[in-house]
Amino acid sequence: MEKVIAGATIHVNEEGYLTDFSQWDKQIGTELAREADIDMTPRHWEVIAYLQGEFKNEVPLSIRKIGKSGVVDIKEFYQLFPMAPLKTASKIAGIPKPVSCI
Amino acid sequence: MKRMIILGAGTAGTMMANHLRHHLNKSEWEIDIIDEREEHHYQPGYLFLPFDMYEPEDITKPIRDFIPGGVNLLNEQIDRIVPQEQYVHMKNGDRLHYDILIIATGAKIAPEETEGMLGKEWQKSVFDFYTFEGSLALRNKLREWEGGKLVVHITEMPIKCPVAPLEFAFLADSYFKHKNLRDKVDITFVTPLSGAFTKPKATNALQHLLDEKHIKIESDFAIESIDNENKTIVDYGGRVVPFDLLVTVPTNKGDELIARSGMGDDLNYVPTHKATLQSKNWPNIFVLGDATDIAASKAGSVAHFEAEILTDNIMHYIAGEPLKEEFDGHANCFVETGNGKALLIDFNYTHEPVEGTFPFPGVGPLRLLKESRINHMGKLAFRWIYWNMLLKGTHIPFVSTTMQEAGKSFD
């Protein structure tokens, strides 16, 4: 479905995740963060940049991997993106919802 | 003479030994299978043992009984694999050269990964049911437990048999009802996932069952530690869930042997091509069952489907032919829902579990994603199938290796 945000039209799935990463920019990220009641700081953007890098390298993301990344520890990750940090941060980063293997 | 070595004589390794002895010429290929244990465990039985539905002898048999003639079973500890030299080093100092290696070393619990899990309450009020010892200790605890807060908990994904913790919660509801204790037991299901399961349609069906059975759910819970003094589990966001009895599924990891060999990811799973089951790094090494890093369920049914495809691919590899990219992530799991009922799910990498009929489209007799008694009978019958057909590599009639789309209600 289409969504108008920060003056642009983006494509998102039914859960609000961008379906085309090329449509993402920092203004859109800022607005998506605001919808989750998060005010972005430089520290937030560092984590988002790391997630986007891993996505481009096709590395599946997990809380464990992020905790061992050296970019942010799990405690701080929760402080930056409360409740469900990996899902919230992925949505702001414009990358797909992380898949947990079953 | 060439040598095929299989590491691990669990479900996956035993099936491969049976398939390959049948397919490989005895005058050309020696087959060795190595496992340090002497007993084969029917792991799905760990779910039933705590509730006195199975006895220990129902779920353990000697490994030797399932290894075919013409395959050497080595009951020894493995030190490490040296893939560059095509050797397996044993703890006793022996070195075994292989032409083809199959890794089927499985996954096991790693409670030491969570702070406080192996504290003073371990096996007193904190239990696992993913080991024989844990499951038996829990049975003894449940026999005398008089009620309180029961918390059923998943530490992190992936885990073996991802529906087992839910089944445990459903069976606990049924067990305490029969003991006339249900009003004294408060059951909470705590999961790192956003809902009861990972796939939307199955999550809806399972959430409905949780509501019906008055089982509370705490989702998106990433455990940081267990507080043994206050008997609580605490997540990284500061959420706290109190328990009187905690039944947890600890982090699952591949075997330490994989780490010692430098061949695994951060959870000791071996990087594996998801459709051919060939190792990503070594063309003469193949991986199946719980030991792989592929995004399929860690379950016996998956290992069974993988074993059929991997056998074909090993024959292609030996003949110098291209491998078939055939494995589709097919899984087929009975989900016990308590009170003598179960539901059945059938899915793969791309198709989530949906409603329908199985194995005959439109006929059944098993119903997908719906509770029924016949599904429960299917689950119980499966133990016989496991010991008598599955391990021996006999094809299960009417159940195809890749997932069938017929008989399913996709949108």
CATH 3.90.25.10 fits B111-252, yes or no: no
pLDDT value for A102:
42
Boundaries of domain holding A73: 2-93
Chain B interface includes A74 (CB < 8 A):
yes
Q: Is residue A66 part of a domain?
A: yes
Pairing status of strand B245-249 against strand B126-127: parallel
Place of tokens 């499951």: B135
Q: What are A69-94's pLDDT values in tens digits? A: 899 999 999 999 988 899 999 999 99
Per-domain residue ranges of chain B: 2-106+255-318, 111-252, 334-390
> What does the pLDDT average to over B170-184?
98
Q: What is the pLDDT of residues A17-68, one digit of tens each?
A: 999 999 999 999 999 999 999 999 999 999 999 999 999 988 778 888 898 8
Q: Where are the beta strands (DSSP E) in B229-353?
A: 232-235, 240-242, 245-249, 252-254, 285-287, 331-338, 341-347
Q: What is the pTM of this model?
A: 0.92
- Helix B300-318 to helix B11-23 angle (10° resolution) is 30
Across the interface, whether the CB atoms of B295 and A60 are under 8 A apart is answered: yes
Q: What percent of chain B has pLDDT over 90?
A: 86
Chain B partners within 8 Å of A89 (Cβ) = none
Residues B90-94, mean pLDDT to the nearest whole number = 97
Average pLDDT value over all residues in chain B = 95
φ, ψ at B218 (rounded to 5°): -115, 110
Distance of CA B308 to the CA centre of its chain: 18
The model's confidence at residue B213, banded by pLDDT at 50, 70 and 90, is: very high
In the prediction, which pLDDT does A14 show?
87
Domain membership of residue A100 (yes or no) is no
**Is the Cβ of A83 closer than 8 Å to some Cβ of chain B?**
yes
Active site residue ranges of A: 101
- Whether residue B224 and residue A74 make contact (CB cut-off 8 A), yes or no, is yes
CATH 3.50.50.60 correct for B2-106+255-318: yes
Q: For residue B399, how many C-alpha atoms fall within 13 Å in the half-sphere facing its CB?
A: 20
pLDDT for B335: 93
**Of the candidates B215, B223, B170, B226, the residue with the CA atom closest to the CA atom of residue B193:** B223
What total number of domains does chain A contain? 1
Chain A residues touching residue B197 (CB < 8 angstroms): 102
What's the average model confidence in pLDDT over B383-403? 89
Residue B406's pLDDT is 87
A101 to B295: CB separation less than 8 angstroms, yes or no: yes
DSSP one-letter code for B384: H
- Rounded to whole angstroms, how far apart are CA atoms B120 and B317? 51
Q: Chain A residues with CB inside 8 Å of B158's CB?
A: 100-102
- A24 found inside a domain: yes
Query: Which residue among A64, A74, A83 sits closest to B220, beta carbon to beta carbon?
Result: A83
Interchain CB contact of A99 with B (< 8 Å): yes
Report the pLDDT averaged over residues B328-343: 93
What's the pLDDT score for residue A100? 60
Question: Chain B contacts of A99, Cβ < 8 Å?
Answer: 198, 295
- The beta-carbon neighbor of A102 closest among B156, B198, B267 is B198
What is the distance in angstroms between the Cα of A59 and the nearest Cα belonging to chain B?
12
